[in-house]
Structure 1
């Protein structure tokens, strides 16, 4: 399983560059390799962070790779619930 990480700050200003970085990392993985996104460093965020997570999920699943989020904090999960997307962010650890 390949681990990619979210930065400590992920707001609207960082979202596009972060998503492009994650998509590039996913594209470089061997075929069928699972994708794991580590969100444990994420401390400052807004709803754009959810868009990045979901965009990463879409890129992974579109490439036929299993997807998993790790280290998702309670505040991030709470925001995901508020937007109704918590079920799309499979989490572990």
Structure 2
């Protein structure tokens, strides 16, 4: 997702995620904090449905960005069984 995505782009991407409770991030080559916001919203929606949520195969730079913003455990930790 390009930097500074508009609200419309954000909502379009979020609708494409649908009701995903596990997102494979291996294809992410370009991302920024708006990507984290999108993933956090997907997590919020999964939790609203009482489903676990996690992101798998995240590139090291995405992990570092999440760590920098203090959301690494929210997105990349193994969900409770």
Cα distance between partner residues in 1 of 2:76 and 2:61: 16
Higher strand fraction (1 or 2)? 1
TM-score scaled by length of structure 2: 0.79
- For structure 1, the 5+ residue unaligned runs are 1-8, 27-33
What's the offset of the Cα at 1:87? 1.2
Residues 82-91 or 35-44, more deviating: 82-91
Q: Could you list the per-position Cα deviations for residues 1-43 of structure 1 after superposition, in whole angstroms to 9, with x for gaps in the alignment?
A: xxxxxxxx35432433211222xx20xxxxxxx8211111000
Q: Cα RMSD (Å) of the superposition? A: 1.9
Map residues 23-42 of structure 1 onto 2, 5 A cutoff.
25-26=18-19, 35-42=21-28
TM-score scaled by length of structure 1: 0.70
* Consecutive aligned runs of 4 or more in structure 1 exceeding 3 Å deviation: 9-12
Aligned length: 75
